[in-house]
């Protein structure tokens, strides 16, 4: 009966409920009844031999009885205590490990960090020649990049403008410096450090990209404007609602001099997206103005008279010829739009328009055309007494279309319509100032977009 019990324990349970996986796990969890003679001594010798090869494990005592390993002694590090238990548990024949190792909190044992520092210093001294060679190689590669970047005649020939050439030089310098650092770190066996640095630099670069989005946009706009060349120095331009003459295009802003003589800096990102009107590109420019005549006057005769007057002015071009159009019909007048062309190289636009308005106005008044002021009609109800016309009020009768006399006839020779050059001279003087010309990205030798 005593022999039958173990045999019955090995049979599967009735009904087939036991599985092969459960039987395997039960077999692995089974502890042998009769260990071999000398197993304890073998286990102890094996563990002690391993500990003797590891630094810091000399103070660990090992004792084995019936496959149970008992560790005792002191160690200064908690990780080392756990490591000793793990090593002992992996030896064949060990049933379990009783870890009795205590941590040594004495000052002498825990000052081993100074010993590690000494070892690191010794390794540094030993590897100093290799470090020196790596540093010299990195400096040599970086210096080569700076030398290549200084070959300005090559990049100026390749790049269409100075701004792009400087961008290429900066990229070459950066690429050679980074390449030198990578090669030096690879020589020192610090590839993992390099990967961590590059990964961190990538994350920082993304964060800086979002933070400096406007700055990057302005920088890209500067590059595009330097390639497009939308205007020339001293051009009279209107950028959205900002008007002036161009002084220079820098890597950050477009500098204008307003017609009042003030400096105006517009960010290039705004200039790149703005609507630009260049008054200098076409020397011919049209001016226009409106004059109103009385509703009883003949608008066709007034238009013809205005055209003839404009055609007789020396600064108005014959081709395209002056024109006149009816712009609007008001309650008390007819508004006529007069148009004329000038050559901006010979005549100033503002002066010409001013003189043209005066000339046409005088001509219309001389021929009897009235330029009436607004007329308002008043209506009174029955509760208001009528005005005492003829008693206390005097009525001044005027003849309609009566020609008015001019005080003096203007001398055509004295009329000044020449272009003003004050702002242009200020711009040229500004461009010739020391150190400013080199910063200009406008290239007169390249075509304007």
Give pLDDT, residue 393: 44
CA atoms of 26 and 132, how far apart (whole Å): 63
Asked if 325 and 341 touch (Cβ cutoff 8 Å), the reply is no
Burial of 397 (C-beta count, 10 Å sphere; 0-12/13-18/19+): exposed
Its pTM surpasses 0.85: no
- In Å, how far are 243, 297, 345, 367, 394 from 398, measured between CA atoms? 47, 16, 46, 16, 13
Question: φ and ψ at 111, to 5 degrees?
Answer: -95, 20
CA atoms of 215 and 293, how far apart (whole Å): 55
Please report, in tens digits, the pLDDT of each residue of the chain (449 residues total).
343 333 334 344 444 444 454 444 444 455 665 666 678 888 888 888 888 888 878 788 888 888 888 998 888 778 888 888 888 888 888 888 988 888 776 655 555 555 566 666 777 677 778 888 888 888 998 888 888 888 877 776 777 666 677 778 888 888 888 888 888 877 777 766 667 666 766 777 777 666 667 777 888 888 888 888 899 999 999 999 999 999 999 888 999 999 898 999 999 999 999 999 999 999 999 999 999 999 889 999 999 999 999 999 999 999 999 999 999 998 788 999 999 999 998 999 999 999 999 999 999 999 999 888 776 667 666 665 555 554 444 444 555 555 444 444 555 445 677 777 788 888 888 887 755 455 678 877 777 76
- Fold annotation for 233-280+425-439: SH3 type barrels. (2.30.30)
**CATH class held by domain 39-106:** alpha beta
The candidate with the shortest Cα–Cα distance to 254, out of 430, 442, 445, is 442
23 φψ region: left (φ > 0), alpha (ψ -120 to 50), beta (else): alpha
CA atoms of 271 and 241, how far apart (whole Å): 11
CA atoms of 268 and 279, how far apart (whole Å): 20
CA atoms of 30 and 27, how far apart (whole Å): 5
Asked if 311 and 318 touch (Cβ cutoff 8 Å), the reply is yes
Task: Give me the residue label for tokens 């020192």.
Answer: 188
Specify the CATH number of the domain 284-373+409-418. 3.30.70.100
User: In what order do the strands lie in the sheet containing 276-278?
Assistant: 263-267, 253-257, 242-249, 236-239, 276-278
* Domain coordinates in residue numbering, the chain: 39-106, 113-211, 233-280+425-439, 284-373+409-418
CA atoms of 257 and 266, how far apart (whole Å): 11
CA atoms of 310 and 150, how far apart (whole Å): 60
| Residue 193 burial (CB count, 10 A) | 11
pLDDT for 267-307, tens place per residue?
A: 999 999 999 999 999 999 999 999 999 988 999 999 999 99
């Amino acid at each position: 009966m005593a022999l039958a019990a173990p045999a019955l324990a090995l049979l599967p349970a009735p009904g087939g409920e036991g599985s092969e996986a459960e039987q395997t796990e039960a077999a692995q969890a089974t502890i042998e009844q009769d260990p071999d003679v000398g197993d304890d001594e073998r286990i102890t010798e094996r563990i002690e031999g391993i500990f003797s090869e590891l630094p810091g494990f000399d103070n660990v005592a090992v004792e084995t009885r019936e496959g149970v390993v008992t560790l005792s002694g002191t160690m200064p590090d908690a990780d080392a205590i756990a490591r000793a238990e793990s090593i002992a548990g992996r030896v064949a024949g060990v049933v379990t490990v009783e870890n009795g190792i205590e941590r040594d909190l004495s000052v002498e044992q825990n000052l081993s960090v100074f010993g590690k520092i000494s070892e690191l210093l010794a390794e540094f001294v030993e590897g100093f020649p290799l470090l020196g060679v790596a540093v010299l190689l990195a400096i040599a590669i970086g210096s080569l990049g700076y030398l290549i970047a200084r070959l300005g005649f090559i990049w100026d020939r390749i790049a269409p403008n100075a701004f792009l050439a400087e961008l290429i030089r900066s990229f070459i310098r950066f690429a050679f410096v980074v390449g030198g650092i990578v090669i030096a770190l690879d020589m020192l066996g610090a590839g993992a450090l390099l990967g961590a640095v590059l990964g961190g630099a990538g994350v920082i670069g993304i964060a800086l990209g979002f933070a400096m989005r406007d700055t990057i946009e302005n920088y890209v706009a500067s590059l595009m404007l330097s390639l497009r060349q939308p205007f020339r120095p001293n051009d009279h331009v209107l950028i959205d609602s900002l008007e002036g003459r161009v002084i220079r295009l820098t890597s950050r802003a477009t500098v204008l001099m307003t017609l009042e003589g003030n400096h105006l800096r517009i960010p290039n990102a705004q200039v790149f997206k703005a609507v630009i009107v260049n008054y200098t590109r076409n020397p011919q420019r049209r001016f226009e103005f409106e004059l109103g005549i009385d509703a009883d006057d003949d608008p066709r005769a007034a238009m013809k008279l205005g055209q003839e007057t404009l055609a007789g002015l020396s600064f108005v071009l014959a081709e395209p010829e002056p024109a006149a159009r009816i712009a609007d019909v008001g309650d008390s007048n007819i508004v006529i739009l007069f148009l004329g062309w000038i050559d901006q190289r010979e005549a100033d636009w503002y002066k010409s328009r001013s003189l043209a308005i005066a000339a046409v106005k005088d001509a219309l008044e001389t021929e009897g055309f009235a330029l009436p002021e607004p007329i308002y009609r008043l209506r009174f109800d029955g509760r208001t007494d009528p005005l005492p016309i003829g008693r206390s009020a005097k009525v001044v009768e005027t003849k309609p279309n009566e020609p008015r006399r001019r005080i003096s006839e203007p001398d055509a020779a004295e009329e000044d319509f020449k272009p003003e050059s004050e702002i242009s001279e200020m711009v040229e003087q500004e461009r010739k100032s020391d150190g400013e010309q080199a910063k200009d990205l406008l290239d007169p030798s390249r075509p304007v977009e």
